[in-house]
Amino acid sequence: MKTQSAKAKGRRLQQWIRDILVEKLNIHPEDIESRSMGAGGEDLIMARAARESFPYSVECKNQEKINIWESYKQAEENSKDYEPIVVLKRNNHKPLVLVDAEYFVKLHTNTKVK
C-alpha cells in the first residue's frame, strides 16, 4: 500500500471515532479535532468540554497487522493525564478499543485498582 493510501486509511478511522464521539456523547464538533497524519501526540485533539465527556487519550491504528503492545505504548506516551486507549481497525472488521485491563475492571467496580 502506498504511503498516501495508508495515511488516508488512518485518517478515515480518526474521523470515524471523532464523528461517533460527537454524535453519541453530544460533543460540539468544534471541541474535537482529528490531528493531521504524521503529527506527533494524540490522534484526537480535544477541548476541555470534550475531555469532560470523554477523558481518554486516543491513538488510532487502521492496519492489517498491528503490534498492539507498541500501539498501546505509543498511546501511553502521548496520554498525559488521561487514560490511553487504542482504536484498532482492519479491513472487513469492526473497530475495537484496547484499554488497560485493570482500568477496565475499575470501570465496573466501586473499589480502586492499585
Residue 112 pLDDT? 58
Query: Residue 114: pLDDT above 80?
Result: no
Confidence band, pLDDT 50/70/90 cuts, at residue 62: very high
Tell me if the domain spanning 3-106 has CATH number 3.40.1350: yes
Confidence band, pLDDT 50/70/90 cuts, at residue 38: confident
Q: What single string gives the DSSP state of each residue in the chain? A: --HHHHHHHHHHHHHHHHHHHHHHTT--GGGEEEPPTT-SS-SEEE-HHHHHH--EEEEEEE-SS--HHHHHHHHHHH-TTSEEEEEEE-TTS--EEE--HHHHHHTT-SSPP-
The residue ranges of every structural domain in the chain are 3-106
